[in-house]
């Protein structure tokens, strides 16, 4: 990677870091990246509203391949002292999407200057943290007949600049379930005159581990109770409303769907038993992310050719990644570049994207263009 391009990419990364934006609110982030590309490349920019892509067009008969970067931040306060510290209280780039976006922009500089013999699409995606962005952006796969799509994620606990990859399921599918319960409040001295949803809620929660044990087949099933909200600090009132928030996840999406339906049935049965009305909704829905073996082999080949340390992972990540929406429609894979074995973990206050990763990622992307 040209030193001048790397310097520009790192500068962009620091600018994005200073002004982070949460999922579906990446308006200024998008403008900054577009302005960077317009100033430093001749690539065509296609603004899709909440997201955009840039395209390098070689010829109509050439293969179309795509590379994706997520651009949203997370709701974590910035506490470390760095020159480009986040100016937004409670919001920061603690997952490194500023680095992913800067990498893709730096790669765009190299493509614009080197002119490979492929049509290359650079997807700058919103809303990864909530599982919505890729669902919207993946429309480009069929629209532009994308033959293959790649992405990377920085990852701590791995050798610095190492290339880590897994074939098949790379990330669990997951879904947030919101179970709202409506009974009838009463005086605490006369609970029989009301309908308190607490008993239904307690039974639902106690049934979940049993359901997970019964349903577990090919892969791991997990359900995490993230919130229970029933009643108030008012000892004279028997509450009439409540809710349970769960995150369910599974190695295989088909098993997640069965697990979800069993939990819903248990909730409905308990609601009926206790005469509670029920409303079930969903948030943060992520598919399983599957890496195609052919794409994985290309990543390994490029890594070896460029003398990077390659490690094949044995287990998928429990944490979800919405990149799976792309690989439902075409070949592709996501790989992981090490921040360092003792580097602060992503989504922690001490974390900041490791700028050394940018050049490694750009070189990997360049190598993947050669197939």
Q: Are residues 146 and 84 in the same domain?
A: yes
CA distance 76 to 88: 10
Q: Are residues 127 and 264 in the same domain?
A: no
Q: Are residues 184 and 70 in the same domain?
A: no
pLDDT tens-place values along the chain, 371 residues long: 999 999 999 999 999 999 999 999 999 999 999 999 999 999 999 999 999 999 999 998 899 999 999 999 999 999 999 999 999 999 999 999 999 999 999 999 999 999 999 999 999 999 999 999 999 999 999 999 999 999 999 999 999 999 999 999 999 999 999 999 999 999 999 999 999 999 999 999 999 999 998 877 789 999 999 999 999 999 999 999 999 999 999 999 999 999 999 999 999 999 999 999 999 999 999 999 999 999 999 999 999 999 999 999 999 999 999 999 999 999 999 999 999 999 999 999 999 999 999 999 999 999 999 99
Q: 25, 8, 4, 2: which is closest to 102 by C-alpha?
A: 8
Q: Are residues 40 and 179 in the same domain?
A: no
Q: Are residues 324 and 335 in the same domain?
A: yes
Q: End of a domain among 245, 262, 286?
A: 286
- The beta-strand segments (E) located in the chain are 44-47, 52-56, 64-70, 119-125, 148-156, 163-165, 168-171, 173-182, 186-187, 221-230, 237-238, 241-250, 277-286, 289-291, 310-312, 331-340
Range of the domain at 298: 3-170+288-368
Q: Are residues 195 and 131 in the same domain?
A: no
In the chain, DSSP finds a helix count (H) and a strand count (E) of 10, 16
Q: Are residues 188 and 280 in the same domain?
A: yes
Q: Are residues 159 and 294 in the same domain?
A: yes
The CATH number of the domain where 14 resides is what? 3.40.630.10
Task: Give the single-character DSSP code of 38.
Answer: H
The CATH number of the domain where 242 resides is what? 3.30.70.360
Number of domains into which the chain is organized:
2
Beta bridge partners of 182: 241, 277
CA distance 366 to 120: 11
Q: End of a domain among 232, 266, 286?
A: 286
Q: Are residues 165 and 180 in the same domain?
A: no
Q: End of a domain among 224, 255, 286?
A: 286
Q: Are residues 61 and 80 in the same domain?
A: yes
CA distance 33 to 102: 8
Q: Are residues 263 and 351 in the same domain?
A: no
Q: Are residues 188 and 83 in the same domain?
A: no
> 164: alpha, beta or left, given left = phi > 0 and alpha = psi -120 to 50?
beta
Q: 4, 100, 114, 11: which is closest to 56 by C-alpha?
A: 114
CA-only gyration radius of the chain, Å = 23
Q: 319, 245, 308, 330: which is closest to 95 by C-alpha?
A: 319
């Amino acid at each position: 990677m040209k030193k001048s391009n790397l310097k520009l990419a790192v500068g962009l990364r620091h600018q994005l870091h200073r002004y982070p934006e949460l999922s579906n609110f990446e308006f200024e982030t998008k403008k900054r990246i577009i302005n960077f590309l317009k100033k430093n490349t001749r690539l065509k920019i296609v603004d899709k509203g909440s997201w955009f892509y840039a395209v390098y067009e070689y010829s109509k008969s050439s293969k179309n391949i795509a590379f994706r970067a997520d651009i949203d931040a997370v709701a974590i306060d910035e506490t470390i002292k760095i020159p480009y510290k986040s100016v937004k209280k409670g919001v920061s780039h603690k997952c490194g999407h500023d680095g992913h976006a800067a990498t893709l922009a730096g790669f765009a500089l190299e493509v614009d200057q080197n002119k490979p013999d492929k049509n290359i699409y650079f997807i700058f995606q919103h809303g990864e943290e909530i599982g919505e962005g890729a669902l919207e952006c993946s429309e480009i796969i069929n629209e532009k007949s994308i033959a293959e799509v790649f992405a990377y994620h920085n990852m701590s606990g791995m050798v610095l600049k190492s290339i880590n990859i897994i074939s098949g399921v790379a990330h669990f599918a997951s879904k947030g379930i919101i179970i709202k319960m409506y009974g009838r409040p009463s005086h605490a001295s006369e609970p029989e005159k009301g309908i308190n949803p607490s008993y239904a809620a307690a039974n639902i929660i106690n049934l979940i581990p049993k359901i997970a044990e019964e349903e577990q087949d090919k892969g791991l099933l997990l359900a995490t109770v993230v919130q229970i909200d029933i009643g108030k600090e008012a000892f004279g009132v028997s509450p009439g409303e409540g809710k349970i928030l769960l995150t369910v996840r599974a190695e295989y999406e088909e098993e997640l769907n069965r697990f979800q339906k069993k939990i819903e049935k248990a909730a409905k049965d308990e609601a009926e038993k206790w005469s509670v009305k029920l409303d079930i909704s969903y948030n943060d829905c992520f598919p399983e992310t599957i890496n195609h073996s052919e794409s994985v082999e290309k990543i390994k080949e490029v890594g070896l050719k460029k003398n990077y340390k390659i490690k094949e992972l044995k287990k998928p990540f429990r944490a979800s990644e919405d990149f799976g929406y792309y690989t439902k429609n075409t070949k592709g894979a996501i790989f992981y570049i090490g921040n360092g074995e003792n580097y602060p973990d992503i989504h922690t206050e001490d974390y900041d994207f490791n700028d050394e990763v940018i050049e490694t990622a750009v070189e990997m992307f360049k190598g993947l263009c050669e197939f």
